Amino acid sequence: MKVLAVGAHPDDIELLCAGTLAKYQRHGHDVALAIATNGEVGSSTHSKSEIAKIRRAEAEASAAVLSAEFHWLGYPDEFLFNDASTRLRFIDLVRQVRPDLIICHDPENDYHPDHVTSGRIIWDTHVMVTVPNIKTDHAPCAKIPEIIYMDTIGGVNFIPNRYVDISADIDRKRAMLVCHKSQEQWMIDMYGVPTVAMMDNFSRMRGFQCGCAFAEGFRVPPLWPRSVDPEGLL
């Protein structure tokens, strides 16, 4: 199976679903990561262009932990919009990767505008990827991909209906997150908590909810037609 995770910013995937991606990869599935924005506002010391370059390199290093396919869309951080050209770019991304499953942000329950917008575009275009009369650089997909929504930061406004035990994969999740070195001090300055410590605490909390050491939470939205049994996805 091919799994595509689409995050709004560099490090969103690592915080919210990297353990599940590591588990898929460990079980022999192909994994791809796509980052919608360039993270250019995520620094109090670097210029926009400087931090964007740094964050792309960090995201590439993180993807390499899983030997994952990597895609960088490069939209401006905090200014991602659901317009025609952006939809076409997302459609072409999905056609290029040809995933069976897309993990993305929850457009109904997330609170961050870029998260909401990227998740909404995936949802709004998930049928369009198969439509021949919508033209992009890559050929239409043969089937509609499954969609599963990743958690929100801190679990705010999010009630999972699926949990994935990532206890055996927490070290690789940490290794991916550690690649985002530029965000460690930024997170302390902005929120008063180191990044890995925040992730560990949250993963333990989701694990406590489902009876394991570490877990990630997801929401499976209503979708028709289903190409994969949802019970077999996570």
Q: What confidence score (pLDDT) does residue 94 get?
A: 98
Domains and CATH numbers, the chain: 2-222 (3.40.50.10320)
Instruction: Give the integer Cα–Cα distance in Å for 93 and 33.
Output: 11
**Closest to 184 (Cα-Cα) out of 15, 6, 49, 5:** 15
Distance between first and last Cα of the chain: 12
**Token reading at 190:** 């902005």
Residues 117-151: tens digit of each pLDDT: 999 999 999 999 999 999 999 999 999 999 999 99
pLDDT greater at residue 84 or residue 48: 84
3-state secondary structure of 107: coil
**Token reading at 102:** 């897309």
Please, which residues have CB within 8 angstroms of residue 221's CB and are 6 or more apart in sequence?
108, 123, 147, 148, 149
Contact call for residues 69 and 104 (beta carbons, < 8 A) = no
3-state secondary structure of 108: coil
Instruction: Give the integer Cα–Cα distance in Å for 143 and 129.
Output: 8
Q: What are φ and ψ of residue 84, in 5° steps?
A: -60, -45
Instruction: Give the integer Cα–Cα distance in Å for 116 and 42.
Output: 18
Instruction: Give the integer Cα–Cα distance in Å for 189 and 143.
Output: 45
Q: What is the model's pTM?
A: 0.94
Contact call for residues 141 and 95 (beta carbons, < 8 A) = yes
Residues 61-113: tens digit of each pLDDT: 999 999 999 999 999 999 999 999 999 999 999 999 999 999 999 999 999 99
| CB atoms closer than 10 angstroms to residue 27 | 8
